[in-house]
Amino acid sequence: MRQVFEMIPPAGSPFTLVLAGTLLLLGGTFALFLYMAYSSRRVSFEVSPEELKIRGGLYGRTVQREELVMDRARPVDLQTEREYGLSWRTNGIGLPGYKAGWFKLRNGEKALVFVTDAHRVAYIPTRRNYSLLLSVASPPQFLDALKGSPGSK
């Protein structure tokens, strides 16, 4: 008759801890990528008389209307207006077809970016030493909505 005896597993060995840590890290990284892919399709920009709410993603926030410098806001095409192009990601996501987070622009400005289409971007400077670059279907219509509410100038 054959008998099988299991070896006692190592208690708290470095290998077990490293393996567990690696698996947690990989799982966490995978979960983060899933969240980024999911949230990239769920970002929206809500304009109200008091504020601009950027909903979704890791970098969503609320910007008070009085912080927006609307007299300098305008539509830009990042492919042709190179000075507004993204030069350096300081804290953000840079996936093909989706850029979100904090970037330096070629003109040296700091910008909070939510860009999926480089040809259709609303550029909005703020009084907080950064600009917003937001991909919207119609940048002129979006900027008109921002300019049309009280307190936008």
- The per-residue pLDDT for 121 is 97
Confidence category of residue 153, pLDDT binned at 50, 70, 90: very low
What is this structure's pTM? Answer: 0.76
Those residues with Cβ within 8 angstroms of residue 4's Cβ, 6 or more apart along the chain or in another chain = none
Helix (H) / strand (E) element for 61: namely strand 61-64
Tell me the pairing of strands 44-47 and 51-55. Answer: antiparallel
pLDDT value of residue 151: 43
Q: pLDDT at position 7, please? A: 67
pLDDT at 131 > cutoff 50? yes
**Given the structure tokens 């507004």, which residue do they identify?**
84
SS3 128: coil
Dump pLDDT digits (tens) for 45-81: 999 999 999 998 789 999 999 999 999 999 999 999 9
The alpha helices in the chain, defined as continuous H runs, are 14-40, 139-148
pLDDT at 13 over 80: no
Q: What is the pLDDT of residue 29?
A: 76
Residue 124: exposed, middle, or buried by beta-carbon count in 10 A (0-12, 13-18, 19+)?
buried
Contact 118, 136 (CB under 8 A): no
- Sheet hosting strand 51-55, strand order edge to edge: 44-47, 51-55, 61-64
What is the model's pLDDT at position 23? Answer: 79
Name the residue with higher pLDDT: 138 or 43: 138
pLDDT on residue 47: 95
